[in-house]
A and B are shown apart, each in its own frame.
Chain A
């Protein structure tokens, strides 16, 4: 288990990569229109299976929503 801040909330997560993190949250890693940043840097989708997560990492998982 590692401690991550995900979308502003601190959590203990059993995930070592972004792919695993998404799956643990019930999100299909193949879903379109998703983007992820780790510690302020966007991680490209192609790197999701390999990019290692470390404790205290700050994660943003976003998608487009209504807006003007």
Chain B
């Protein structure tokens, strides 16, 4: 296999990460993941409850896919760091998707706390993949403190609005010393393809698959879109022109 994505020295199996939330039921989730062939599957860390569905999810997924725990819901660095440490213990992995939220309606990252938490988690030996805003300065700071990748948002989590600021994503990709995984806001396959064409190394998708009318089909579409976008990126697109450039020869025109 060529064109392999490597994060923190680990070769990943694909360029798509998939979330485990919001599926209609467990079987649909498993079938959708089989169609998407994710490199990693994300899960949250929560206090135990007695709900049947939730109890068995990690047992279903833990043996099938590499699990990337997230610190979703955390609003302070202290909570995010403790959640990451609990995740490491529960899942026996030092990888963590670091989410530190500054606004509960927007779920926008709190960049100041995020950089601080990332710095501390890197020192504690974690492989940190931070969910961050689409800001080249923030992404550089996260890379500088040792994050293994950056995960800028395309648009608000679950909003399905695609990539709101393609120019920013393209800038981040061109400057980032670590892999870029577009995370949040993907709505359909073309958004995933666009992310790859802009230079992203991978995409993270959850709601766009889980809440689509046919999650298994959408998962297959996302896998294909990521592959197509990546191929197009490697192929090198034509530039955008302001004027027409005829494709047929200009000499030997009938009637000339």
> What is the interface residue range for chain B against chain A?
35 or more
**Residues 41-95 of B at the A interface (beta carbon under 8 Å):** 42-48, 54-55, 57-59, 62, 67, 69-70, 72, 78, 82-83, 85-91
| From B19, B82, B85, B89, residue with most partner A Cβ within 10 Å | B89
Q: Are B72 and A63 in contact (CB under 8 A)?
A: no
User: Is A8 a contact partner of B44 (Cβ separation < 8 A)?
Assistant: no
Collect the chain B residues with CB atoms within 8 Å of residue A35's CB.
45, 86-90
Q: Is B168 an interface residue (CB 8 A)?
A: no
Q: Which residues of A are found within 8 Å of B58, using beta-carbon distances?
A: 33, 63-65
**CB-CB under 8 A for A66 and B86, given A33-B59, A33-B62, A60-B47:** no
Q: Are A27 and B48 in contact, CB atoms less than 8 angstroms apart?
A: yes
**In this complex, what residue of B is CB-closest to A27?**
B48
Taking residues whose C-beta sits less than 8 angstroms from the other chain, chain A's interface range is 20 to 34
Are A64 and B44 CB-contacts (below 8 A) given A32-B62, A40-B82? yes
Which A residues are in CB contact (< 8 Å) with B23? 66
Binding site for A on B (CB under 8 A): 19-23, 42-48, 54-55, 57-59, 62, 67, 69-70, 72, 78, 82-83, 85-91, 157-158, 204, 206-207
Tell me the A residues contacting B by CB distance below 8 Å. 7-8, 27, 32-37, 40, 42, 44-45, 60-68
List 7 tightest A-B contacts by C-beta distance, closest first. A67-B44, A68-B19, A68-B206, A35-B90, A35-B89, A7-B47, A64-B43
